[in-house]
């Protein structure tokens, strides 16, 4: 009878998830959370009482170790779900009301916009300064805080009307640079943007109103990216996967906001100067100065607000090695905070709920140790001849399968389709070994210094880093050897577990192979059409496949007359789906014209040098206009998982015309 009830509840969950979680009363989410807790409790009780293999000392040790790893991952995975017990939202309604009230007042604070930079390529910094100088709020001063001391950066700052500042030495890295900017500036509010981030023109109008409440110290907005991260790009999964950060900014931050534990993310935020001064500025002893400074503000009684509206965008890491090193830095910084007086363990003035919500972020990084253990555990079947778990068909069907199905059905529903339940785990196995190493070194107090993630670096050839590939190859070799040992007796659970592990390692290895990208500028998919006109009166119309700050790609439909030839100068008029022209006519040169499927022609154009030098309208329209960045929902997991497995067998792309890595962008001027 009990099992019948469980399966009926799972069928009910299958029906419930047909409607988005946000459209249900909060009681439905809480009911699903209770169901998960019950199923988890049943599973762990079964594991503890009926599945341990205690036949020998070795099997006992492995069995207990596996149970501890499983229990840790399940319980820490359930914690962020349980934190969503409270009501939460993305803060947009509060921002609407605050903006209306603020616009009706006479408070117009001066805002110092701080842009810390240290060696980023000039085109990357130029994009940021274009956005900062295009902010529509008038009472601003943009400060370029240059830790590289380059004359060309000074010239770029002067070109965009920014104040330039360079300090001697780079003491305390980004935190020291920001504190130097705080000391030199005087505005009542401070906005911070990393050098690779570009704010939309209305960024300050949307955030300042929230700071009208005197106890609010900081307003954080989400980080979104105008290029695909390496997991998505290397696997050609831009349409099917979401960036790793989406789950944090679309779900974790709003949930933490309900507990008063919003995390400062280091860029795309506005803060009150007096609050920062009260805690001594940005914490210079911390690797994650943003995280620790935010905790210090909370401990002093200040509130942090989160506005989950994409108001800026930046560059994600471009190679898998840089992606991994960036996560290692985040992990080390978060774990280091546990030792600091301003960290989530030692900072006074935090409520129990705030402390728990902040500590959950630290537990997230610790999870890579038990993940590594689970990755190695299948080896015990074939190489050691020991089963670390004693299972029965009844236990699998009545304990493991219901819990697994419930998690698969509910996780993506609860997090509002900001992350897949299973899909993201396979390619992210590439992180397990390096992050487990980082966790171990951090726990013994060894922390590496601050390292800037390289951006917009050309790659003429594809390839993978040995540092990432070698551990995966060693693990794959061991698993294949283990698999051969298991094939002869056809060991059931061990064989299935080993096969799934081999599959995950193959996906991780494929994700490590970076695409060749000779021209690494962000390319966007925007629903536009384009009319082309030549000097002799010839004209064509074609949909826009991809557009960037350097040019655009078109797919010219098959016609009886020839298309434009390479080298031809054209006048372009871009049009939206409703016929509106988002930009005035632009001039461009045909860089390539190649036939493709069904007699269509693929046309690649580059903005003319004169147009690029005389105005920056395409760049400003692409990156600074209101509402240009959209939040996608995760694709249906079965189809996305199928696409992932299919792409593992495909050759790596060489990015270029017709083979762009695209991020979708909303059309038009948008709105909030």
Q: Average pLDDT for residues 412-426, to the nearest whole number?
A: 87
Percent of the chain with pLDDT over 90: 74
> HSE (CB half, 13 Å, CA atoms) of 220?
27
What's the DSSP call for residue 397? Answer: I
Phi/psi of residue 266, each to 5°?
Answer: 90, -15
pLDDT tens digits for 597-608? 667 888 999 988
Residue identified by tokens 């390496």 is 230
- Predicted local distance difference test score (pLDDT) of residue 560: 60
Domains, in order of start, for the chain: 2-83+367-444+455-512 (no CATH), 92-365 (3.90.550.10), 529-624 (2.40.10.220)
What's the DSSP call for residue 424? Answer: G
Decide if pLDDT at 450 tops 70: no
Decide if pLDDT at 277 tops 80: yes
| C-alpha triplet 257, 32, 78: angle, nearest 5° | 60
CA-nearest of 488, 472, 501 to 379 is 501
Decide if pLDDT at 50 tops 70: yes
pLDDT tens digits for 219-253? 999 999 999 999 999 999 999 999 989 999 999 99
CA-nearest of 335, 424, 442, 330 to 371 is 424
Q: How confident is the model at residue 670 (pLDDT cuts 50, 70, 90)?
A: very low
Average pLDDT value for the chain? 91
Using a 10 angstrom Cβ sphere, with 0-12 exposed, 13-18 middle and 19 or more buried, the burial of residue 408 is middle
Global confidence as pTM: 0.94
Using a 10 angstrom Cβ sphere, with 0-12 exposed, 13-18 middle and 19 or more buried, the burial of residue 394 is exposed
Q: How confident is the model at residue 347 (pLDDT cuts 50, 70, 90)?
A: very high
What's the DSSP call for residue 526? Answer: -
- Predicted local distance difference test score (pLDDT) of residue 598: 66
- Predicted local distance difference test score (pLDDT) of residue 444: 87
Phi/psi of residue 450, each to 5°?
Answer: -70, 130
Decide if pLDDT at 671 tops 60: no
SS3 113: strand
pLDDT tens digits for 109-165? 999 999 999 999 999 999 999 999 999 999 999 999 999 999 999 999 999 999 999
671 vs 557: which has the higher pLDDT = 557
| Token pair for 354 | 């705030």
Torsion region of 199: left, alpha or beta (phi above 0 gives left; psi -120 to 50 gives alpha): beta
- Predicted local distance difference test score (pLDDT) of residue 132: 97
Secondary structure (DSSP) of 139-201: SEEEEEEESS--HHHHHHHHHTT-EEE--SS-TTHHHHHHHHHHHH---SEEEE--TT-EE-T
pLDDT tens digits for 515-547? 999 888 999 999 999 999 998 888 999 999 999
Torsion region of 456: left, alpha or beta (phi above 0 gives left; psi -120 to 50 gives alpha): left
Q: Average pLDDT for residues 281-285, to the nearest whole number?
A: 95
pLDDT tens digits for 129-142? 999 999 999 999 99
What's the DSSP call for residue 251? Answer: I
């Amino acid at each position: 009878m009990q099992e019948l009830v469980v399966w009926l509840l799972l069928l009910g969950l299958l029906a419930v998830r047909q409607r988005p979680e946000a459209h249900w009363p909060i009681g439905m989410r809480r009911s699903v959370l209770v169901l998960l807790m019950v199923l988890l409790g049943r599973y762990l009780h079964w594991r503890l009482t009926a599945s341990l293999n205690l036949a020998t000392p070795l099997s006992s040790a492995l069995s207990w170790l596996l149970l501890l790893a499983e229990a840790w991952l399940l319980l820490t995975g359930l914690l962020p779900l349980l934190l969503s017990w409270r009501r939460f939202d993305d803060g947009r309604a509060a921002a609407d009301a605050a903006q209306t009230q603020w616009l009706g007042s006479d408070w117009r604070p001066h805002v110092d916009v701080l842009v810390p930079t240290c060696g980023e390529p000039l085109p990357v910094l130029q994009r940021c300064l274009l956005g900062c100088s295009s902010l529509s709020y008038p009472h601003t001063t943009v400060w370029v805080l240059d830790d590289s001391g380059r004359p060309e950066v000074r010239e770029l700052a002067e070109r965009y009307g920014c104040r330039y500042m360079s300090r001697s030495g780079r003491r305390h890295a980004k935190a020291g640079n920001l504190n130097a900017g705080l000391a030199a500036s005087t505005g009542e509010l401070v906005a911070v943007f990393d050098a690779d981030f570009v704010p939309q023109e209305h960024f300050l109008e949307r955030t300042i109103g929230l700071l009208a409440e005197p106890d609010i110290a900081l307003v954080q907005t989400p980080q979104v990216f105008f290029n695909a991260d390496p997991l998505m790009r290397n696997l050609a999964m831009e349409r099917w996967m979401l960036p790793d950060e989406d789950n944090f900014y679309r779900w974790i931050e709003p949930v933490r906001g309900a507990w008063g534990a919003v995390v400062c993310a280091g860029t795309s935020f506005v803060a009150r100067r007096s609050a920062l001064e009260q805690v001594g500025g940005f914490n210079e002893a911390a690797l994650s100065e943003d995280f620790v400074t935010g905790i210090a503000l909370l401990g002093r009684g200040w509130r942090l607000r989160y506005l989950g509206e994409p108001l800026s965008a930046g560059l994600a890491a471009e190679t898998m090695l840089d992606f991994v090193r960036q996560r290692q830095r985040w992990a080390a910084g978060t774990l280091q905070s546990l030792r600091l007086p301003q960290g989530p363990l030692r900072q006074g003035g935090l409520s129990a709920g705030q402390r728990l919500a902040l500590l959950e972020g630290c537990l997230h990084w610790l999870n890579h140790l038990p993940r590594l253990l689970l990755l190695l555990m299948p080896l015990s079947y074939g190489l050691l001849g020991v089963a670390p778990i004693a299972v029965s068909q009844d236990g699998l069907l009545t304990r493991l399968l219901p819990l697994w199905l419930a998690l698969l059905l509910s996780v993506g529903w609860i997090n509002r389709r900001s992350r897949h339940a299973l899909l993201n785990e396979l390619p992210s196995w590439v992180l397990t070994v390096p992050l487990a190493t980082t966790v171990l070194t951090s726990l013994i107090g060894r922390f590496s210094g601050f390292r800037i993630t390289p951006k917009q670096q050309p790659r003429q050839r594809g390839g993978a880093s040995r540092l990432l590939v070698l551990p995966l190859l060693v693990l794959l070799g061991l698993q294949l050897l283990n698999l051969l040992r298991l094939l002869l007796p056809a060991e059931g659970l061990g064989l299935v577990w080993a096969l799934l592990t081999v599959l995950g390692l193959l996906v991780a290895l494929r994700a490590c192979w970076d695409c060749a990208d000779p021209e690494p500028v962000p390319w966007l998919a925007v629903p536009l059409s384009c009319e082309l006109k030549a000097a002799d009166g010839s004209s064509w119309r074609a949909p826009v496949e991809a557009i960037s700050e350097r040019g655009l790609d078109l797919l010219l439909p098959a016609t009886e007359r020839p298309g434009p030839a390479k080298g031809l100068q054209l006048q372009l008029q871009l049009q939206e789906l409703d016929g509106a022209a988002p930009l005035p006519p632009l001039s461009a040169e045909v860089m390539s014209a190649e036939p493709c499927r069904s007699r269509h022609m693929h046309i690649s154009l580059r903005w003319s040098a004169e147009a690029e030098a005389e105005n920056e309208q395409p760049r400003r329209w692409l990156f600074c206009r209101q509402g240009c960045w959209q939040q996608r929902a995760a694709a249906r997991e079965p189809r996305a998982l199928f696409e992932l497995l299919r792409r593992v067998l495909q050759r790596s792309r060489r990015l270029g015309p017709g083979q762009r890595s695209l991020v979708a962008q909303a059309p038009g001027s948008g709105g909030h």
